[in-house]
Amino acid sequence: MKRIAIGADHAGFQLKSRLIERLQSLGYSVEDKGCYSEDSVDYPDFAHPVADSVEKKEVEFGILLCGSGNGISMAANKHAGIRAALCWMPEIASLARQHNDANILTIPARYVTENEAYAIMDTFLGTAFEGGRHEKRVNKIACV
């Protein structure tokens, strides 16, 4: 069973709940790292636990949501080995996996519909990294 960590701030809470339901219906084991209501919270408080789980390989992928997707993605990308990709359409999600070996999907909750989010997530999770010429580039991302 594939394991996914998911987190969101208050702007992404409702959509996160729907994505969890979909993931579970598809047979994924989901670790919900919060938040747990629409009360105002700080997005880094949820980005970091998801990024930690991916970084430690406790889960296969992470999914993060906030209003624009930017802040939560920036926080996650502070972690070594994390390649969080802000995706607003399936084609971006596909390329993020194929070319960048993205390991966290970030969704802008205020700018996509529920069905668009499903399509983005399904594409991200169903697309493999191509490797090859892209591997060299991905290996240059981390600052050492």
Task: Give catalytic residue positions.
Answer: 66, 99
Whole-number Å distance between alpha carbons of 118 and 34: 19
Residue-by-residue DSSP string for 21-78: HHHHHTT-EEEE----SSS---THHHHHHHHHHHHTTSSSEEEEEESSSHHHHHHHTT
Q: Check the CA dihedral 110-114-120-122 and report its sign.
A: positive
Report the C-alpha gap between 76 and 54 in whole angstroms: 10
- Which amino acid, one-letter code, is at 106? T
Q: What's the token pair of residue 105?
A: 């999907």
CA distance 33 to 27: 18
